[in-house]
Amino acid sequence: MRLSIPESEIKSRQSKFFSSLQEKGIDGAILFSVTDIFYLTGFNFRPSERPIAFFIDPRENTHLLIPHLEKEHAEEYAYVQNVHYYPEYPGLRHPMDYLKKSLMDAGFQNKVIGLDIEGYSSPKGYQGSKVRDLIDAQQFISIKGWVEGFRQIKSNNEIELIKESCRWGNLAHRLLHKYSKVGLSEIEISGRATLEATTTMIETLGKEFLPYGEPTHAFYRGQIGQHSYFPHSQTQNLILKKGDNVVSQSESTVWGYRSELERTMFVGEVSKEQEKYYRLVQQAQKIAVDSIKPGQPFSFVEKNVRDFYKENNVEHLTRHHTGHNIGLLNHEAPFFDLGDERVMQPGMVATVEPALYVENIGGFRNSDTILITDDGFEFLTYYPRDLESLIIP
C-alpha cells in the first residue's frame, strides 16, 4: 500500500516548475517556502531558527541547502541531486554565506533569477540577508505563488492520500461522538478519541506510514454551547451540558496531506430553535455543493449561499465564507468567497462549510471535504449529516 507521492511524480513536478521558469525567461529559481519545498522535493522540514532553501539551477539541477543536523535526513528523503549544508545558525559563518557559495557554484551569478520571497524568514529568532545582497542578477523576478498555484490541482496520488486522511478523520470523529457525554470535559473526550483512532490508524497502516503532521485528531476547540458562537474559539476546557449544541472537528494527515470534517452535534436534546438553524446550514451546504461547477468562479458558490441566507433573513448571522481549498496546508486558496473570481477546476479539493452563529445559542457548521470533478463534485468525507445521527445520547 503506497502512502506517499512516488519519486516519479516529485520529479515531474520539478520538470513542470523548470519549464514554467523557462517560459518566462527565468534561468533558475530559489525558494524558501517550506510547504513548496516539500511539494517539490518530498523533504519535510521542521522549521526553527535554521534556514532552508531549495534551488533549481540553469542546467535544471536541483539543490537543497539545509543545516548539518538535517543532512542524513535530507540525503535519505529528499528527491534532489545536491544536498548542501551549513554547520549551524547563526554559526561562525552565516548560512546565507553558504547559500551564496552554492549559488555561485551552480551558475546563478548574473542570471535571470526567480524568487518566492526576498530571503529566508522565520519568527524563531532568525535574521539574515536577502538574496539580492548575496549575488548579482541580470534580473530578480518574483515567482511568489507559482508553486502554490501548481498545488491547487491535485493528482490522483494526492487525492488518494486525502481520501486516506478522510477515512481516519471519520474514525476519530466517530470516537469523539461516542465518548462525548454530559459532564465530561472537551479535552478528556478529545484525548480519548484521538488516542484510540491514532493507535488504530498506525496499527492498520503499518510502518511505511509517515504522517508528516498529526496522524489524526478529533476535538471541539472550545466550540461547546454558547461558546461555539466564536467561530475560531480556542480550547477552553469546557464541560458538556445537556441541551448544548457543539461543533466538532476532525483532521488527519497522511504524508502531509490533510482533510477536514466538522459537524454540529446536540447534547441529549434538540430545541426547536437549534433545529431551525441546523436545517438552514444543512440546506445551505446542499445549495453550496450543487453550485460547484468547473468553469464557474468560486464566488458563484458563496453568492448562492448568501442568497439563500438572505431569503431566510439570517445573512447577518454569517461570520465567514463558505470554504477554502485544502491539501498540504489546512487552508489554501482559492476560497468560496464573494471576492474570489478564480475558476473552479477538476482536481481541486476544498471544504464546504457555510455556517451560522447565533448569540446566546452558539454556532452551526458542518464542514465536508469535497473533490471538484469534471461535472460537479464528490464528497470525500462521509460522516452522517442528518440531524438524528448527530445527537449525543
CA distance 38 to 332: 15
Question: Could you give the count of Cα atoms lying within 13 Å of 144 in the half-sphere of its Cβ?
Answer: 5
Counting residues that bind a copy of itself (by CB under 8 A) gives 74
- Which region among 13-21, 201-209, 282-290, 379-387 touches a copy of itself (by CB under 8 A)? 201-209
48 lies in the binding site for a copy of itself (CB under 8 A): yes
User: C-beta of 321: minimal distance to a copy of itself in Å?
Assistant: 5
Q: Among 4, 40, 42, 70, which residue sits at the site for a copy of itself (rule: CB under 8 A)?
A: 70
Within positions 123 to 142, which residues make up the interface with a copy of itself, using CB under 8 A? Answer: 123-127
Rg over alpha carbons for the chain, rounded to the nearest Å, is: 23
CA distance 151 to 376: 20
For a copy of itself, give the closer residue by CB, 106 or 172: 172
- Which region among 171-179, 236-244, 273-281, 287-295 touches a copy of itself (by CB under 8 A)? 236-244
Contact between 321 and 302 under an 8 Å Cβ cutoff? The reply is yes
Contact between 5 and 158 under an 8 Å Cβ cutoff? The reply is yes
For a copy of itself, give the closer residue by CB, 81 or 127: 127
Within positions 328 to 387, which residues make up the interface with a copy of itself, using CB under 8 A? Answer: 329-335, 337-340
CA distance 2 to 5: 8
User: C-beta of 389: minimal distance to a copy of itself in Å?
Assistant: 26
CA distance 305 to 288: 6
Within positions 270 to 289, which residues make up the interface with a copy of itself, using CB under 8 A? Answer: none
CA distance 89 to 17: 29
User: C-beta of 87: minimal distance to a copy of itself in Å?
Assistant: 8
Q: Among 102, 194, 274, 369, which residue sits at the site for a copy of itself (rule: CB under 8 A)?
A: 194
**Interacting residues of 131 by C-beta distance below 8 A, sequence separation 6+:** 30, 99, 113, 115, 118, 119, 140
Q: Among 22, 138, 155, 237, which residue sits at the site for a copy of itself (rule: CB under 8 A)?
A: 237
Q: Among 23, 203, 374, 375, which residue sits at the site for a copy of itself (rule: CB under 8 A)?
A: 203
Distances (CA, A) of 167 to 47, 211, 251, 285: 29, 14, 10, 21
User: C-beta of 375: minimal distance to a copy of itself in Å?
Assistant: 26
- Which region among 153-161, 197-205, 259-267, 366-374 touches a copy of itself (by CB under 8 A)? 197-205
